Amino acid sequence: MIDRYSRQVLFPGIGTEGQRKLSNSCVVIIGCGALGTIIATSLVRAGIGKVRIIDRDFIEYHNLQRQALFDEDDIRNGLPKAVAAERHLKKVNSSVEIEGIVADVNYTNIERLVRDVDIILDGLDNFETRGLINDTSLKHKIPWIYGGAISSSGMTMNIIPGQTPCLRCINPEVPNRARIRTCETAGVISPAPFIIGSLQSVEAMKILVGAEEINRQLIVIDVWRGKFNRFEINRRADCPTCQGEYEFLEGKHSTKTTSLCGQNAVQVTNPKVREISFETLAAQLKRIGEVSYNEFMLRFTADAHEMVVFPDGRAIVKNTNDESLARGLYAKYIGI
């Protein structure tokens, strides 16, 4: 095992002691898209003791342009991202405990999913779940590393409870969803998330080994224009989260439908549904459309719509960004 990490141990910032700290650490990566695959690859190769990867989605061809861990076989096998990531990374480093969890992170489950970790890494594409991470981080005093990428640009910042400003100090208002730029409307080129994911990985390593060089600024890059900037952020005196008001964790900002970044699709969650029998559902749906399923998901096509249903009752309605249409189709085919 020492030989596996020999080049990393030679680096003075890590050393033998740092390597030991990494191997005793546990991290969670929430969201396994472009950022998440880069972070997961870096940290599993670096020998972090436990890596938990949480993602709600499955893999599609347009993901392969920038989601570095996946391949065409994963799509043919209908694998969710968290499952494919776990399988690939276990072949890379069998000494790391890797746990892929297919789940939608929300205010009812996030505290349970991150309770035992040393750092939370953000590989997300939406503000709502980042708000939840921010609340959970400050409430439980777990550092988190914010990261986002879109088009040719990206940004990242470390949020260390009690030491740095939080995400809501930067974004005091919860953004109106209709006005957020997404990968769907703006596109994205892979070097932007690759660099941001790499910066998040190195910050995680620095925090875990207790390095002094931890970044305390907001880093903003544009890979197309070759711009790399750092901004000093101040804690806002009126920030609700810094004052212990955890609005996201209380479910104040939760929704039942979410537009998925870059996918022309809407996710519908129904908190009343805990478990779905694919066998029963498929028997009902095959009378009105095409149905196929495996243990991870059920795919259903009817009219011009395609829907993927997960065992926890979530569905992703494809070929639309209209949340009310998606909710209607869910009600029509699955039931609410």
The binding site for Zn ion (CB under 5 A) comprises: 166, 168-169, 239, 241-242
What is the nearest approach in angstroms of Zn ion to the Cβ of residue 173?
13
The total of other beta-carbon atoms located within 10 Å of residue 16's CB is 10
- Distance (Å, rounded) from C-alpha 133 to C-alpha 107? 9
CB 115 within 8 A of CB 158: no
Tokens of 18: 């740092």
Nearer to Zn ion, 189 or 233 (CB): 233
Residue in 213, 77, 220 with CA at minimum distance from that of residue 146: 220
What is the nearest approach in angstroms of Zn ion to the Cβ of residue 166?
3
Q: Going by C-beta distance under 8 Å and a sequence separation of 6 or more, which residues neighbour residue 186?
A: 150, 151
Nearer to Zn ion, 28 or 170 (CB): 170
The total of other beta-carbon atoms located within 10 Å of residue 288's CB is 12
What is the nearest approach in angstroms of Zn ion to the Cβ of residue 167?
7
Nearer to Zn ion, 172 or 335 (CB): 172
C-alpha torsion 170→172→174→178, nearest 10: -70
Q: Which residues of the chain form beta strands (DSSP E)?
A: 26-30, 50-55, 97-102, 119-122, 144-150, 153-159, 218-222, 227-231, 257-260, 265-268, 290-293, 298-302, 305-309, 315-318
Residue in 26, 57, 42 with CA at minimum distance from that of residue 143: 26
CB 161 within 8 A of CB 142: yes
Nearer to Zn ion, 52 or 168 (CB): 168
What is the nearest approach in angstroms of Zn ion to the Cβ of residue 72?
43
What is the nearest approach in angstroms of Zn ion to the Cβ of residue 147?
18
Nearer to Zn ion, 51 or 166 (CB): 166
What is the nearest approach in angstroms of Zn ion to the Cβ of residue 245?
10
Nearer to Zn ion, 56 or 168 (CB): 168
What is the nearest approach in angstroms of Zn ion to the Cβ of residue 169?
4
Nearer to Zn ion, 155 or 166 (CB): 166
